[in-house]
Amino acid sequence: MNKKIKLSGYIKPYAVAAILAPLTMMVEVVMDLLQPALMADVINIGILENRMDVILWTSLKMLIFAVIGMVGGMSCTYFSSKVSQNFGADLRSDLFKKVQTFSFAETDKFSTGSLVTRLTNDVTQLQNLLMMSLRMLIRTPLMCIGGIVMALSMDIKFGLILVVSMPIMLTIVVLITKFGSPLFSKMQKFVDKLNAVTQENLTGVRVVKAYVREENEIEKFSSVNDDLTKTTLKVMRMMALLSPLMMLFMNGSVVAVIYIGGLQVEAKAIQVGQVTSVVTYMTQILMSMMMMSMLFMMLSRAKASYDRVKEVMATEPSVKDKEDCVSSFLPAKGSSVVFENVSFKYPLAMGDPVLRDINIDIKPGQTVAILGSTGSGKSSLVNLIPRFYDVSSGRILVDGIDVKDYKSGTLREKIGMVLQKAVLFSGSIAENIRWGNPSASDDEVYAAAKTAQADDFVKAFPDGYDTELGQGGLTLSGGQKQRLCIARALLKKPQILIMDDSTSALDMGTEARLKKALKTDMKDMTVILIAQRISSVMAADKIIVMDGGKISAEGTHEELMQSSDIYKDIYSSQIGQGGAFDD
């Protein structure tokens, strides 16, 4: 976690704009500092001595300086905005790329809502800080120091006011920054929770309505929203306290300048124009201090965001490719899969491993079914084959090579995966199926859909394969989504097809047609099938019965009916003795 994000690396591509921003701001500051001195000449010479030529000439110079300062300020805004916006875009892009490298273990660690907040809100905080820094980190010190020099050049006695006021204002800034920083960290965590609750509710909105739990969800949202509001109000109260306090000391300092200046004018030590200029300089100095305090508050909030962005960037994926990994494989119709003494425990889980001492030998082209009660470790078992997680002990061989010796992309190219939850994306039906093979022809897409028993219902839509799906395919039934996911996997033409309870929403007739089509069109493919219905697995070459994270029994249907009490119980409960499904 000690890895640092080199933010300077994101600014280098825009180094010219990053340099021009403070330089143009310096032009504006110099013009602003010259204005009060010129105003003193207008008052002392032009007005008091009735010199109209001095008034006109000095006013013209002030106007020219104001235009130059305006151009400098506008240029600084343009360059700082260009640097900060590109900085934010590049950092956000790198964060997203980093998240894409994470294995399931890392995505389990960070919640979806938190990752969304870090990619959006946290990056925006850093982006805003950079923009303000390019403008204010140059303006405020220069304006402060320049104002002090110019004020003291009028009369050294004005320095007494600065000696008293500036330490007090600095102390206020430091105290508010110290107490504000922890609150900003809390704010970002509450934003995480708010995003997570919102996303969870919108994703499961149908379940919420089905169970009439709207009030409960509103209460949950309100609780998190209230926590964020209370924390934000604490920060805002501190910010609100900062501004009046700074204004109090600023106005008090101006009053002191007028008082001391009046005495000096009465003593004929200085002129009225100089007092007016010092008042302006004092205002510029103290306004610079206020801006610096605001910048420190932004820095505190950005520091909390930086820590959260750094946490993501510094997290190394637990599944890594070796330097000498296998980056290609021989084309084949089916692959072998061997588990040797495999045990597995989720990285963040407590208690016993979910899989213990697993030994399986799957031959190329075999259809192997995995059966077992909920929580027996079936999905965990198949997730280890494409290295979504790494085994805790033992090893898994695909075509005689340890999966850890493959390049992860190469390994996953061999495998078609139909997950337990059918996941579709926004876009057309054809685009969703083409996730399996972006370069596939229309005929290949249609063929995969036919094998997956999806062609008929797709053609029934007015736009057919061009039908646009909503987010997650919410306009489709569960069985339709499952068939499209199967078509997507088949289009990939994998050597190993893993179907994780992916026919649960299909009626038995459709499932029977699907199995028949798979046997015909993908007869040489190695198929690993997880199912809850015993009728789905009876024809498999090998059936593995899981119980409590271990293999309880394995064999054909006939063998298990003789040797496995668990299998016989499942068979009896679903089909019964001499049931209609006995062939």
Can you list the domains of the chain with their CATH numbers? 8-314 (1.20.1560.10)
Reported residue count of the chain is 583
- Cβ partners under 8 Å of residue 557, min gap 6: 537, 538, 539, 540, 543
Q: What is the DSSP string of 446-478?
A: HHHHHHTT-HHHHHHSTTGGGPEE-GGGTTS-H
Question: Which amino acid would we find at residue 159?
Answer: G
Rounded to two decimals, the pTM is 0.72
Triad 8, 10, 14: Cα angle to 5°: 95
The pLDDT > 90 percentage for the chain reads 16
393 falls in which pLDDT band (50, 70, 90)?
Answer: very high
Q: What Å distances lie between residue 538 and 41, 177, 335, 582, CA to CA? A: 102, 69, 22, 10
Task: Read off the pLDDT of each residue in 553-561 and give the average, rounded to a whole number.
Answer: 90
pLDDT tens readout for residues 217-268: 888 888 888 888 888 888 777 777 777 777 777 778 778 878 887 877 777 7
Residue 24 predicted with pLDDT over 70: yes
pLDDT tens readout for residues 398-436: 988 899 988 888 888 889 988 878 888 888 899 999 988
Q: What Å distances lie between residue 197 and 190, 205, 308, CA to CA? A: 11, 12, 19
> Strand (E) positions, 348-465?
355-362, 367-372, 393-398, 401-402, 415-418, 427-428
544 falls in which pLDDT band (50, 70, 90)?
Answer: very high
Question: Which amino acid would we find at residue 411?
Answer: L
pLDDT of residue 576: 62
pLDDT tens readout for residues 191-219: 878 877 887 777 677 677 776 778 888 88
- Cβ partners under 8 Å of residue 222, min gap 6: none
Question: Which amino acid would we find at residue 57?
Answer: W
Q: What are phi and psi of 77, to 5 degrees?
A: -60, -45
pLDDT of residue 338: 94
What's the mean per-residue pLDDT of the chain?
Answer: 83
352 falls in which pLDDT band (50, 70, 90)?
Answer: confident
